[in-house]
Amino acid sequence: MPLPKPRANEKKETFISRCMEEITKEEKDKWPDQKQRAAICYRQWDQWQKDHGHPEKAEK
């Protein structure tokens, strides 16, 4: 399963919550530690922001 990415106009806290839920459901065996899953989600958010240059909301 590919890692979740922010959706258009999705706020950070909404994305992190959705990401954690998806990774926990689909990839818990791969990443059993909750802190590790959280770090992955925050990294996904930060990378999206860096690539798209939006400070708070992810856009297409």
pLDDT of residue 6: 93
pTM: 0.82
φ and ψ at residue 7, rounded to 5 degrees: -95, 165
φ and ψ at residue 48, rounded to 5 degrees: -60, -45
pLDDT of residue 58: 47
pLDDT in tens, the chain (60 residues): 789 999 888 999 999 999 999 999 988 888 899 999 999 999 999 999 988 876 555 444
Structure tokens at 41: 């989600």
